[in-house]
Amino acid sequence: MRSRLPVVLVLPAIAGLAFLLVPLAGLLIKAPWATLPSQLFSAEVGQALRLSLICASLATVVCLVLGVPLAWLLARSDLPGRGVLRALVTVPLVLPPVVGGVALLLVLGRRGIVGQHLDQWFGISLPFTTAGVVLAEAFVAMPFLVISVEGALRAADPRYEEAAATLGASRWLTFRRVTLPSVMPGVIAGTVLCWARALGEFGATITFAGNFPGRTTTMPLAVYLALETDPDAAIVLSIVLLLVSVAVLAGLRDKWISGPS
Amino acid sequence: MTLHASLRVSRAGFSLELDLDIEAGEVVALLGPNGAGKTTALRALAGLVGSSSQITHNGSTWDGLPAEKRPIGVVFQDYLLFAHMTALDNVAFGLRARGTRKAEADTVALHWLGQVGLGDFARAKPRTLSGGQAQRVALARALATSPELLLLDEPLAALDASTRLRVRSELGRHLQDYPGHTLLVTHDPLDAMVLADRIVIIEDGRVVQQGTPRDVVRQPRTDYVAHLVGLNFYRGTAHGTEVRLDEGGTLTIAEPAEGPVHVVFPPSAVSLFTEKPAGSPRNSWQAVVSGIEQHAHTTRVELDGNPPVLADITTATVAELRLQPGDALWVSLKATEIHTYPR
């Protein structure tokens, strides 16, 4: 028989578990269940929820359109300095989002390096707009997609692409019909992670896009603001975000949670 | 119409220099040990490896063309069927990539699946197919675009022994019907003998011998080829009916010859005795058993002597002689069993 589990390990483990789970349980316990439906469908919550879903989805589309080709480039090309590029791409992953927001302001702000030209030539101003929210979310979320897709691409056997070439397929056709379908699980996982990250984005969004209800106030911003004025609304919004997170985890169950068995 | 290829590939520690001419309808087997450059040659022909090769066919040159622009079909060793597509879509892929409409591509693909006996498997995904079936889908996929040059990379290596026999004969039938040029890369001499009209043998990126299967079997020119076809093989200098072997030893032959020659005889022509065989115009010399290997119906004995020799003897003889490694025996060989040809 195995000896008893050592207390030195078990006690902190239980404390750790409680530390992670109790706040979530608290959220559910304190939820205003009676008024929840009306809260959920109230104008402010509905507005924030709709804006969040739209912005996160648009940001995910941006990430897919730019991120999948980037992942392909990192995985397949013989670009010099590919390792450095790969490291740079992951910087937003560890960068505090607020710093990301500041960086975006410096580049795309009204007086930013690129932003001033956008403003002068095209009359486009991105900060403090819904488009700004999408950009901020995409900036923070894209590395999740790139890393996931690049990993899948590197694991995929490039000889299938050679086989496609011998059958007369161009690189683009090969990518669409052979490479992409074979890495689809990685693309889906990356998309879900990317979307979830975009949905929860706070720091970069509030820095770059500010807080204008209906235009830039996404759910995480709404939660933070509601905490001052309407705590019940904050709880309802939090529960919605919690449910989304759980749903994402459930969706990625096979890929991320099961672990090595 | 002849396909001329002058393949030149070099990379660290290896270079390939191979000139190949393949006639229309001809099957050429590229045979050689691992690392000889067989697959590199195939990849150079397919345009999958950067090389300074020159390939001309019917007045057009393929140099510098990427793989997708060459009129080729390739059957890869592990087939590389696209797992997310049905067998039909796999076979139709090349036609679609070359701009054929879907309905027409499907019709042609279905015809080819029928040709390889898999008409009923059009909707099957590759992972549900057996090894032999996957090989046939790969062949249909390569042939569906009517390529000028068909390249087969160890097409039977991934199959188990019993399947291989059947698939080999089917493949032979399809290759006979195929009007284009075929290059078969293999390390299995049997594949080459059965499937090819001509065998080109390469070692270390260079051609060491080429000829019809019959020529290669009868007159090997290197140790590798002799080993493949299972012959005792020596180099020597003939003077009348006597051949002085380069590695030492002398053999008496029946047909007089002059000058540098290759000498071959089958291991089954060798007899082993415990005592020096008496009289008769035979070759006999003393040798020591260095290895014994049981084959299906015979036992192959490896002997160190002057010259060293392989002997195939019956199991009865093994029992009679009570053979052990280290035993000293007399080797005897009839002069009429020895075949010589000029170097």
ipTM for this prediction: 0.83
pLDDT by residue (tens digit) across A96-128? 999 999 999 999 988 888 888 888 888 888 888
DSSP string for B100-128 = --HHHHHHHHHHHHHHTT-GGGTT--GGG
Residue A115: predicted pLDDT: 85
Domain boundary among B172, B207, B227: B227
Residue A155 touches partner B, C-beta closer than 8 Å = no
The verdict on B220 and B240 lying in the same domain is no
The verdict on B266 and B194 lying in the same domain is no
Strand ranges in B198-249 using DSSP code E only, listed in sequence order: 198-203, 206-211, 232-245
Rg, Å, chain B Cα set: 25
Cα A130–A132–A134 angle (5° rounding)?
A: 75
Question: B68 to chain A: which residues are within 8 Å by CB?
Answer: 165-170
Residue A261: predicted pLDDT: 37
The verdict on B221 and B246 lying in the same domain is no
**Interchain CB distance below 8 Å, B66 and A178:** no
DSSP A4: P
The verdict on B6 and B65 lying in the same domain is yes
**Interchain CB distance below 8 Å, B67 and A160:** no
Smallest Cβ distance to A163: which of B76, B84, B145? Answer: B76
The verdict on B208 and B255 lying in the same domain is no
Q: Please classify residue B297 by burial: count the beta carbons closer than 10 Å to its beta carbon, then call 0-12 exposed, 13-18 middle and 19+ buried.
A: exposed
When pLDDT is cut at 50, 70 and 90, the band that residue A45 belongs to is confident
Residue B322: predicted pLDDT: 85
Write the CATH number for B326.
2.40.50.100
The verdict on B75 and B86 lying in the same domain is yes
The verdict on B216 and B301 lying in the same domain is no
Domain count, chain B: 2
Domain boundary among B200, B227, B254: B227
Residue A173 touches partner B, C-beta closer than 8 Å = yes
When pLDDT is cut at 50, 70 and 90, the band that residue A258 belongs to is very low
Q: How far apart are alpha carbons B6 and B143 in whole angstroms?
A: 24
Question: A178 to chain B: which residues are within 8 Å by CB?
Answer: 82
Name the closest residue on chain A to residue B93, using Cα atoms. Answer: A167
Smallest Cβ distance to B67: which of A166, A181, A182? Answer: A166
In the structure encoding, which two tokens stand for residue A71, read together?
Answer: 């992942």
The verdict on B202 and B86 lying in the same domain is yes
CATH domain A42-253 topology: MetI-like fold (1.10.3720)
Domain that holds residue B88: 2-227
CA A208 to chain centre: 16
The verdict on B146 and B239 lying in the same domain is no
Residue B30: predicted pLDDT: 95
DSSP string for A82-139 = HHHHHHHHTHHHHS-HHHHHHHHHHHHSTTSTTHHHIIIII----TTSHHHHHHHHHH
The verdict on B29 and B134 lying in the same domain is yes
Residue A257: predicted pLDDT: 45
Domain ranges of chain A: 42-253
The verdict on B137 and B262 lying in the same domain is no
Domain boundary among B206, B227, B248: B227
Chain B closest-CA separation from residue A23 CA (Å): 44
3-state secondary structure of B201: strand
Evaluate whether B139 touches B171 at the Cβ level (below 8 Å): yes
Provide the β-strand partners of residue B181. Answer: B149
In this structure, what is the dihedral angle of CA atoms B204, B207, B213, B216, given to the nearest 10 degrees? -80
Residue B288: predicted pLDDT: 93
When pLDDT is cut at 50, 70 and 90, the band that residue A259 belongs to is very low
| Helices A43-76, A130-155: crossing angle, 10 deg rounding | 40
Write the CATH number for B43.
3.40.50.300
pLDDT by residue (tens digit) across B321-336? 888 888 899 999 988 9
Per-residue pLDDT 10s for chain B (343 aa) are: 899 999 999 888 889 999 999 999 999 999 998 889 999 999 999 999 888 889 999 888 998 889 999 999 999 999 999 999 999 999 999 999 999 999 999 999 999 999 999 999 999 999 999 999 999 999 999 999 999 999 999 999 888 888 888 899 999 999 999 999 999 999 888 899 999 999 999 999 999 999 999 999 999 999 999 998 889 999 999 998 999 999 888 999 988 999 999 999 999 999 888 888 876 657 899 999 999 988 878 899 999 998 999 999 988 888 888 888 888 999 999 889 999 999 8
pTM of the model: 0.81
- For an interface test with A, give the residue of B84, B125, B151 to mutate (most A CBs within 10 A): B84
Residue A256 touches partner B, C-beta closer than 8 Å = no
The verdict on B166 and B234 lying in the same domain is no
Smallest Cβ distance to B97: which of A169, A182, A184? Answer: A169
**Interchain CB distance below 8 Å, A162 and B67:** yes
- For an interface test with A, give the residue of B65, B68, B146 to mutate (most A CBs within 10 A): B68
Smallest Cβ distance to A165: which of B67, B82, B83? Answer: B67
Residue A1: predicted pLDDT: 54
